[in-house]
Amino acid sequence: MSQSPRVIIIGAGLSGLAIAQGLQKNGIDYIVIERESEPRDRNWGVTIAWSHPFLAELLPDHLFRRLTDCQPDPGLDSKSAGRESVIIRDGHNGMTLVEPPFPGVRRLNIQKTRTIWAQGVNVKFGKTITDIQVNVDGVVAHFHDGTSESGSVLVGSDGGGSWVRQWLLGDAAISTVLPYTFLNFSFTYTAERAVMMDKMMHPIVDVGIHPKSMYIGIFLLDKPDLEKPETWIFYILATWPRSEDDYREGKDMVQELKKRMDGWADPYRSAVEWIPPETKAKAVPFKIWGPKSGWDNRGGRVTLSGDAAHSMTFHRGQGANNAIRDSERFVHAMLAVKSGEKTLTQAMDQYEEDVVTRGREEVEVSRVQTVALHNYEDFFNSPIMKHGIRPTIDINSLKG
Ligand SMILES: Cc1cc2nc3c(=O)[nH]c(=O)nc-3n(C[C@H](O)[C@H](O)[C@H](O)COP(=O)(O)OP(=O)(O)OC[C@H]3O[C@@H](n4cnc5c(N)ncnc54)[C@H](O)[C@@H]3O)c2cc1C
């Protein structure tokens, strides 16, 4: 006998919103709960490559067609610009080390994407989950303001520091801090420099690795006014072996980065040199978490997706792609429950087999990629050289 489930989604990030859109498209009841009441101040871009077909499944046609509006540069068509690739250069001389091709590759600004994907879905903002109760009839989520929601299944799409993961796994949910200093900060240039940088850098991903064990990526975050280059927002991701002093309260990390730029070539040298002096940045802990053998899903009632299920380093650009794959697999599982093809337990066990296998693999592969990017000689044996930005396992062979 079929029974349509009701889903409680915790977190309105890319994964939670993609699930919500997919459930809505298929007439399955849900609610999204998000602790923020406004978009967060941290923002970055993600490279969407192999997850495109899954987005086409999840999003309604009018939103899928609006993916260009989610891009940092809405006017960029990577295909007609002849830039369907990402570039990794030798930071010391600017020469290309590898430029893996990827048809259809695009960048998404995550704040713009969340704003657009939240349209038309049922999201309650400003609520933080504080407790979960599982009973024979379903699951109840309790929130900090004393309210609650009941459903048949709860999915924790609540990001790398997931509360739901902690509820499921206790201490085993604690992330590992990797031994790298990590900077992620944005800024604008003068109009003239913004135009020069826009021409100099690869428009999708432009990263340099340096023999002195340093990584720098220069990216476009937004072009609020195409006619006014002084409004264009760029950002830098930088990593190097961790120094405790970099995490000292109040340390000026833009100055620290500038001090470390000797021996770097363009576009990275100018990208850092031209950062306005008033720009502030601080080092953030560089954390990962991978599922070892999954979690007890309490009879299929509580599960995870996206960074909550597998939080990986950004160096291979796989986190959002895997989060979207999880969302597509989760909706697929709910459809099997709705049609009566599977029980909730069967559907969730199969969903998690895929999420855990794929997530465990990519958290480790991305970690290996991170290490290799800081070890110049080893880079040529690294996953990006072998697999580009494709998954390292055949995702279609996984159950789920
Ligand atoms: C600098 C950087 C660069 C990256 N580059 C790439 C890339 O190029 N390609 C790629 O594929 N991936 C990339 N990633 C990874 C990608 O951004 C993530 O994998 C993806 O955004 C994860 O989405 P999510 O929905 O799982 O989590 P999130 O986007 O973190 O969303 C989680 C949501 O849950 C909410 N929440 C948290 N706790 C609670 C709670 N207790 N109650 C209610 N709500 C809660 C949060 O407010 C948030 O809105 C990058 C990541 C970073 C940091």
pLDDT of residue 96: 96
pLDDT tens profile 266-300: 999 999 999 999 999 999 999 999 999 999 999 99
- Mutation test residue for ligand 1: of 14, 186, 321, the one with most atoms within 8 Å of CB: 14
What single DSSP character describes residue 269?
H
pLDDT tens profile 209-233: 999 999 999 999 999 999 999 999 9
Domain positions in the chain: 6-80+103-175+288-376, 178-286
For ligand 1, what atom is nearest to the CA of residue 17? 25
Average pLDDT over residues 121-143: 96
pLDDT tens profile 35-86: 998 656 668 999 999 999 999 999 999 999 999 999 999 999 988 989 999 9
pLDDT of residue 88: 94
Give me ligand 1 centre to Cα 14, in Å: 7
Task: Give the pTM.
Answer: 0.96
Using only C-alpha atoms, the chain has a radius of gyration, in whole angstroms, of 21
For ligand 1, what atom is nearest to the CA of residue 107? 8
Cα dihedral angle (327, 88, 108, 11), rounded to 10 degrees?
Answer: 40
Please give the distance of CA 52 from its chain centroid, rounded to a whole number: 14
pLDDT of residue 386: 81
Helix axes 14-25, 110-117, angle to 10 degrees: 30
Residue 382's pLDDT band, with cuts at 50, 70 and 90, is confident
pLDDT of residue 213: 95
pLDDT of residue 387: 82
> Rounded CA gap, 303 and 296, in Å?
9
What single DSSP character describes residue 138?
E
List the strands of the sheet with 138-143, edge to edge.
129-135, 138-143, 148-151
Average pLDDT over residues 92-116: 93
pLDDT tens profile 150-168: 999 999 999 999 999 999 9
Question: What SS3 class is residue 334?
Answer: helix
| Tokens describing residue 265 | 């070539």
The response to whether residue 214 sits with its C-beta less than 6 Å from ligand 1 reads: no
Q: What is the DSSP string of 176-245?
A: EEPSEEEEEEEEE--HHHHHHHHHHS-SS-EEEEETTTEEEEEEEEE-S-TT-GGG-EEEEEEEEE--GG
pLDDT of residue 391: 85
Give the phi and the psi of residue 233 in degrees, each rounded to 5.
Answer: -105, 125
pLDDT at 200 over 60: yes
> Rounded CA gap, 345 and 48, in Å?
31
pLDDT of residue 41: 60
Neighbours of 147 (CB within 10 A): 11
pLDDT of residue 4: 87
The response to whether residue 21 sits with its C-beta less than 6 Å from ligand 1 reads: no
Q: List CB contacts of 223: < 8 A, sequence separation 6 or more.
A: 72, 73, 74, 75, 231, 232, 233
pLDDT of residue 390: 82
> Rounded CA gap, 20 and 8, in Å?
9
Give me ligand 1 centre to Cα 286, in Å: 14
Average pLDDT over residues 92-105: 92
pLDDT at 2 over 80: no
